[in-house]
Chain A
Amino acid sequence: MDIQLKKGLLDVCVLSVLREGESYGYKIVADVAPYIEISESTLYPILKRLESSAMVTAESRAYNGRLRKYYRITEKGLERIREFIEDAKEFAKIYRFIDNGGRS
């Protein structure tokens, strides 16, 4: 898969996981991995990017005698998911056109 396309998809996949409720690094990887290839090292820049663009917020809280960082989606993040769904409908139309050999 194209790297840029995958990057965009991963951003939305992470946001989708967070739409279900706040989460943390290990769980996000576990939730996304069955659908698209993702590793811990891939997740870090995604979370950083989403946080810096205010699509998610992060908060460190004590867990089991140590700190764990929890991520929560913002309204801007939800908006990004909605935009993606709209874009995907367009992609689906284009895909059908290509799949039909250029016939609508």
Chain B
Amino acid sequence: MINANLKSSYAADERVLNNRYKQAFVYATILGLALFTLFGNDYLILIASQMGILLIAVVGINILTGYTGLVSLGHGAFVAIGAYAVTIFGNLGAGVIPAGLMPFISVPLAVALAAAVGVLVGLPSLRVKGLYLAVATLAANFIVIFLIEEDLFAPWTGGMVGINTNVPNLLGWELDTKREMFGLIAVVGLVSLLAAQNLIRTRIGRAFIAIRDRDYSAEILGISLLRYKLMSFALSAAYCGLAGALFAYFYARILPEQFELALSLNLVAALIIGGMGRTMGPVFGVIIVVMVPEVIKVLFGALAGDSAGAGQLRAPLQQIAFGVLLVLFLLKEPLGINQIVDRILRAANRWPFARG
């Protein structure tokens, strides 16, 4: 365990993974994910893929809410933009761009589009704060989903009934099984997590944290609120757009209702349950948010079988469990699971001496 960090140069202190335990953790994760991709059971691969997609989006929200302190209840809209943009670009460019190059063009375009809309939605954040911003983003979510469903755009978006998505083709390698897709999701997810960890040690990340702690003080210190708040919005929207692109590639069909308010609330809940403003927070949160409904489903299946009546009970129970979890964490452990893990690690570290 870590009892001290001996650093003999500035370079060592400034590294992204600034101690051996973090490095070991990352290498072990890479190894574990590789083994899991090769040998994991199909059902677990499916669950893990859902977690990976959600994780990327929650990492994005963490940048905005956890590090910059701006509340958003509308990030489901950016996931929707990413998912629809990658599908629409894919359909429009089907004949023009070679299939093997398509993801390399459409995904960056989708991410850029999500970031651009993010800047637009972030504009009120310069004038309104806290609650007002939460409602402004909520409004943006309703508007985006409404526009996707609108008949006017139905030729491109498919309207209410949704649209079939494309299979990603990376330079001739078609990812047409869930296992291959999970490989892609795992790589992208890990890279985006490390990128977020890297971001907060740079000038930009420290500016975000200064804004979170007191925005007027940050402005007095010479941090441009306009620039950094919009940058935070753009970055988090870009992450959500990336998650949306993977979402579209992972599922055979996307529907507008998948990106409604429930998704936005899920993302924020995952962040709160996991722990805001910490790199590992989104990871823990996403595991809980995906696992709890699954566990209820499995338990229910074992107890009541697959009858229609049981199905009618299951969805509300999942919803209630989700709400109770969120409320319990807010009341009892506002810093999330990350805090619990920290406490356990600290106790293990000091064992057999005083805990705390």
Bound together: no
